[in-house]
């Protein structure tokens, strides 16, 4: 029953997307034929079939998801996916999250989120469903939907039946995937971010196909881009938090290939969010922005390939499967289509002006973009180069933390500097007097921070630079927010209006990045670790903390069993353990963490726990300053992105000639239209 319902849902979503493609293609051909014959353009239809097909596709995805969750909750081992990734002892939360704990179910979650985005996009632009740009964008979205649901009818079928006899029980999810409640949030947010870039990518290709390469498509997809970027960033931060709480090694980021695969599109997406400001204001960087969004979406597919092809060995990756070559082929098609269309429309993509001065906001944003692109390239090379060597030379090479740190530290410091400077610069050209007015106080804040740190005994060039630049960037962002709040108060709008809108929300995001940068510098530079071997009631002192082993005991629950140490640290009790989940014989070291605003104390049974007549515990202890601020900074980034999506106080229509759209050539010759793209495409097209 569950398998039948699931296959019906997948097939419904696939057929609805195919029908949407046919419907949109027919409408586009019909309109083109009318224009080519000199007839009047077809009148807008009262029905919006693309919107209906988008919602029908979402209904199919929801039906398939319901069938999968029902199979997991009822332990329907007649489905191979359930038999391999579920057990009767699995707690109900991990029964639910089991859908995205293995390959086929994760593709189903991907398809569900994708259909949700496409339905939201179709509904958002239903009033412009007869616009060629919207039609092409939705057609491309439906093509992506067809690809992923075709996967689910082929090599990634989540509802394939169990071969042979149906087992009475299964092994349950991977042990690391049923050890922390963040499994319910991290993958969902990560997929929402990766999948969300489908919408701006589709509109970018649509703008190239129609020749309308002005700024209309940027304005139309702004909120979708913010949502995707924020979800991906939050997903990455929650993944780091999850790793920190469950992995037992005291770290939060290991430059793992699958971690990197999610970080790379976030970096290019961040560059895109900054550079579109230059295009919207000055009409510059058109080719660059199109290239960035094509690269970002392509990298989301590459991330999917790295996770699901089996080419990387990681706790984050799934087992080897037949979807790898298909995903790699889809990645190639996307890159070829994007590059080909940009090359085809190259004559129309020339910017109407140029950067007047390097000491301008657009000049600083360009440098900012180059730094983000360099960062993404460094991580990409470090991630895929070992794979190329393995394929062509059959040699295993590991690129570890020293390589990534050697590049990421200077790039991160440079980004902190430009994060402070760029928003303070005016467009076109900055005067020396203006720079002094806007940057004097933030600069003094940075200098004062460095002096205070040195007087407090802080040493090390890198952490001092990070603290100083963090204070510089943070003070610059606070200055902007303060001025915005004062201006809003003067206009009787309430000071809270000083933190909404794209510019002000961006400053909140900058503050979140500063908090993360300072926390990373402090934790990586001044964290301390040691291995302690203790017997009951033995007391040791480490980095100002008093540690006493109280007891070592065995425990057993319906879902797991193992040994745990009861440790008193200062006035708190820790319980680091070695767990064995029922149905899975692999032992897992489960750490115990006490987080504070100043530092974290982290205990892991990384050595061994001995019970019986002579109990003892070999424990790894980590004391890391300010690490909890990483999660605070991540929350601030997400909040800033949401605030940036709220319309700001000022609204004005752009009069910059560079914002004018270039209409499709055939329509321009046969049925001329106004030069400016229809404002109805984006209700907020007049936002500053």
The three-state DSSP-derived secondary structure of 475-532 is HHHHHHHHHHHHHHHHCCCCHHHHHCCHHHHHHHHHHHHHHHHHHHHHHHHHCEEEEE
Give me the mean pLDDT over the 128-142 stretch.
91
Give me the mean pLDDT over the 335-340 stretch.
95
Give me the mean pLDDT over the 202-215 stretch.
90
Give me the mean pLDDT over the 12-20 stretch.
96
Both 140 and 202 in one domain: the answer is no
Length of the chain: 688
Q: Among the ranges 38-42, 142-146, 479-483, which has the highest mean pLDDT value?
A: 142-146
Both 322 and 242 in one domain: the answer is yes
Asked if residues 221 and 203 have their Cβ atoms less than 8 Å apart, the reply is yes
**pLDDT at residue 315 greater than cutoff 80:** no
Residue 15 burial by Cβ neighbours in a 10 Å radius (0-12, 13-18, 19+): middle
- In the chain, the percentage of residues whose pLDDT exceeds 90 is 52
Residue 282 placed within a domain: yes
Both 53 and 152 in one domain: the answer is yes
Residue 149 placed within a domain: yes
Asked if residues 475 and 442 have their Cβ atoms less than 8 Å apart, the reply is yes
Three-state SS at 660:
coil
Looking at 594, 625, 656, the residue that finishes a domain is 625
Phi, psi dihedrals of residue 417, rounded to the nearest 5°: -65, -50
**pLDDT at residue 209 greater than cutoff 90:** yes
Residue 678 placed within a domain: no
| Helices and strands per DSSP (H, E), number in the chain | 20, 10
As given in the structure block, the two tokens for residue 96 are 């639910």
Both 234 and 381 in one domain: the answer is yes
Residue 685 placed within a domain: no
The H or E element containing residue 472 is helix 461-490
Both 149 and 211 in one domain: the answer is no
Both 28 and 59 in one domain: the answer is yes
Give me the mean pLDDT over the 74-103 stretch.
91
CA–CA gap between residue 679 and residue 688 (Å, rounded): 14
**pLDDT at residue 335 greater than cutoff 70:** yes
Give me the mean pLDDT over the 200-220 stretch.
90
Residue 508 placed within a domain: no
Note the pLDDT of residue 34: 55
CB atoms within 10 A of CB 254: 17
Both 131 and 215 in one domain: the answer is no
Asked if residues 153 and 176 have their Cβ atoms less than 8 Å apart, the reply is no
Both 262 and 395 in one domain: the answer is yes
Closest CA to 603 of 557, 568, 551, 559: 568
Both 69 and 121 in one domain: the answer is yes
**Intra-chain end-to-end CA distance of the chain, in Å:** 54
Both 613 and 549 in one domain: the answer is yes
The reported pTM is 0.88
Apex 433 CA angle, 431 and 439, nearest 5: 100
Three-state SS at 551:
strand
Both 30 and 156 in one domain: the answer is yes
Domain extent at residue 553: 528-625
Phi, psi dihedrals of residue 443, rounded to the nearest 5°: -65, -45
Half-sphere exposure of 154 (CA within 13 A, CB side): 14
Give me the mean pLDDT over the 364-376 stretch.
92
Query: What's the alpha-carbon Rg for the chain, to the nearest Å?
Result: 27
**pLDDT at residue 43 greater than cutoff 70:** no
**pLDDT at residue 30 greater than cutoff 70:** yes
Secondary-structure percent of the chain, ordered helix, strand, coil, rounded to 5: 60, 10, 25
Asked if residues 368 and 374 have their Cβ atoms less than 8 Å apart, the reply is no
Q: What is the pLDDT of residues 493-508, one digit of tens each?
A: 665 666 777 888 889 9
pLDDT averaged over every residue in the chain? 85
Note the pLDDT of residue 312: 60
Residue 151 placed within a domain: yes
Both 169 and 64 in one domain: the answer is yes
Q: What is the pLDDT of residues 398-444, one digit of tens each?
A: 788 899 999 999 999 999 999 888 888 887 777 778 888 888 999 99
Q: Write the CA distances from 50 to 47, 131, 402, integer angstroms.
A: 9, 12, 51
Looking at 579, 595, 625, the residue that finishes a domain is 625
Ramachandran bin of 192, using left for φ above 0, alpha for ψ from -120 to 50, beta for the remaining angles? alpha
Asked if residues 629 and 515 have their Cβ atoms less than 8 Å apart, the reply is yes
**pLDDT at residue 99 greater than cutoff 50:** yes
As given in the structure block, the two tokens for residue 22 are 């046919």
As given in the structure block, the two tokens for residue 575 are 């319980």
Note the pLDDT of residue 314: 53
Q: What does 22-57 look like in DSSP terms, one character per residue?
A: HHHHHHHHHHHHHHHTTPPPPPPPS--HHHHHHHHH
Give me the mean pLDDT over the 279-293 stretch.
88
CA–CA gap between residue 486 and residue 479 (Å, rounded): 11
CA–CA gap between residue 631 and residue 215 (Å, rounded): 35
In the DSSP assignment, the letter for residue 684 is T
Residue 8 placed within a domain: yes
- In the chain, the percentage of residues whose pLDDT exceeds 70 is 87
Note the pLDDT of residue 688: 30
Q: Cα 142 to chain center, whole Å?
A: 22
Looking at 608, 625, 642, the residue that finishes a domain is 625
As given in the structure block, the two tokens for residue 633 are 């900074």
> Domains in the chain: how many in total?
3
Q: Among the ranges 366-370, 653-657, 661-665, which has the highest mean pLDDT value?
A: 366-370
pLDDT-based confidence at residue 279 (cuts at 50, 70, 90): confident
Three-state SS at 202:
helix
Residue 509 placed within a domain: no
């Amino acid at each position: 029953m569950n398998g039948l319902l699931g296959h019906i849902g997948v097939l419904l979503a696939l057929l609805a997307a195919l029908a949407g493609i046919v419907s949109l293609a027919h409408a586009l051909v019909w309109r083109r034929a009318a224009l080519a014959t000199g007839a009047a353009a077809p009148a807008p239809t009262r029905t919006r079939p693309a919107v209906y097909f988008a919602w029908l596709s979402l209904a199919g995805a929801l039906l398939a998801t319901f069938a999968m969750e029902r199979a997991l909750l009822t332990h329907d081992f007649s489905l191979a996916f359930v038999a391999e990734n579920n057990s009767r002892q699995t707690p109900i939360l991990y029964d639910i999250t089991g859908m995205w704990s293995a390959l086929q179910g994760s593709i189903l979650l991907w398809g569900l989120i994708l259909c949700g985005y496409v339905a939201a996009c179709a509904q958002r632009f239903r009033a412009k469903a007869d616009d060629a740009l919207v039609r092409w964008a939705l057609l491309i979205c439906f093509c992506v939907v067809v690809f992923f649901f075709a996967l689910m009818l082929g090599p990634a079928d989540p509802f394939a039946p169990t071969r042979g006899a149906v087992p009475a029980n299964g092994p349950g999810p991977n042990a690391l995937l049923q050890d922390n409640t963040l499994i319910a949030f991290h993958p969902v947010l990560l997929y929402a971010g990766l999948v969300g870039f489908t919408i701006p990518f589709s509109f970018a290709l649509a703008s190239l196909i129609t020749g309308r390469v002005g700024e209309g498509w940027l304005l139309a997809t702004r909120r979708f881009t913010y949502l995707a970027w924020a979800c991906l960033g939050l997903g990455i931060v929650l993944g780091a938090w999850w790793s920190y709480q469950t992995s037992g090694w005291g770290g939060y980021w290991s430059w793992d290939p699958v971690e990197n695969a999610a970080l790379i599109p976030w970096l290019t997406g961040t560059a895109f969010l900054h550079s579109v400001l230059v295009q919207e204001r000055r009409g510059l960087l058109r080719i660059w922005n199109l290239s960035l969004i094509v690269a970002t979406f392509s990298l989301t597919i590459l991330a999917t390939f790295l996770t699901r092809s089996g080419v990387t060995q990681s706790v984050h990756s799934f087992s080897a499967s037949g979807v790898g070559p298909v995903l790699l082929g889809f990645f190639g098609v996307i890159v070829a289509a994007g590059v080909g269309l940009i090359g085809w429309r190259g004559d129309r993509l020339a910017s109407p002006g140029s950067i007047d001065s390097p000491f301008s906001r657009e000049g600083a944003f360009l440098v900012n973009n180059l730094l983000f692109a360099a960062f993404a390239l460094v991580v990409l090379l470090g991630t895929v180069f070992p794979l190329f060597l393995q394929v062509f030379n059959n040699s295993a090479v590991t690129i570890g933390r020293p390589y990534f740190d050697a590049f990421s530290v200077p790039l991160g410091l440079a980004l902190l500097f430009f994060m402070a400077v760029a928003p303070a610069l005016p467009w076109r050209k900055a005067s020396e007097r203006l720079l002094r007015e806007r940057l004097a106080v933030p600069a003094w804040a940075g200098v004062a921070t460095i002096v205070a740190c040195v007087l407090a005994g802080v040493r090390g060039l890198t952490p001092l630079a990070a603290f100083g630049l963090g204070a510089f960037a943070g003070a610059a962002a606070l200055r902007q927010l303060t001025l915005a709040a004062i201006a809003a108060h003067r206009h009787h709008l309430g000071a809270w209006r000083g933190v909404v809108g794209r510019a002000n929300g961006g400053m909140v995001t900058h503050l979140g990045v500063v908090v993360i940068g300072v926390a990373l510098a402090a934790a990586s530079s001044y964290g301390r670790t040691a291995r302690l071997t203790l017997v009951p009631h033995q007391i040791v002192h480490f980095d100002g903390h008093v540690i006493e082993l109280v007891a070592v005991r065995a425990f057993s629950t319906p879902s797991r069993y193992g040994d745990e140490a009861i440790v008193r640290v200062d006035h708190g009790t820790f319980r680091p353990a070695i767990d064995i989940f029922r149905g899975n014989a692999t032992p897992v070291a489960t750490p115990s963490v006490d987080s504070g605003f100043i530092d974290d104390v982290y205990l892991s049974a990384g050595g061994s726990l001995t019970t019986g007549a002579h109990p003892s515990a070999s424990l790894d202890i980590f004391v890391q300053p300010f690490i909890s601020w990483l999660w605070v900074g991540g929350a601030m980034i997400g909040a800033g992105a949401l605030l940036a999506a709220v319309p700001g106080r000022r609204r004005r229509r752009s009069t910059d000639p560079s914002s004018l759209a270039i209409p499709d050539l055939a329509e321009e010759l046969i049925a001329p239209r106004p030069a400016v793209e229809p404002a109805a495409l984006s209700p907020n097209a007049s936002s500053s």
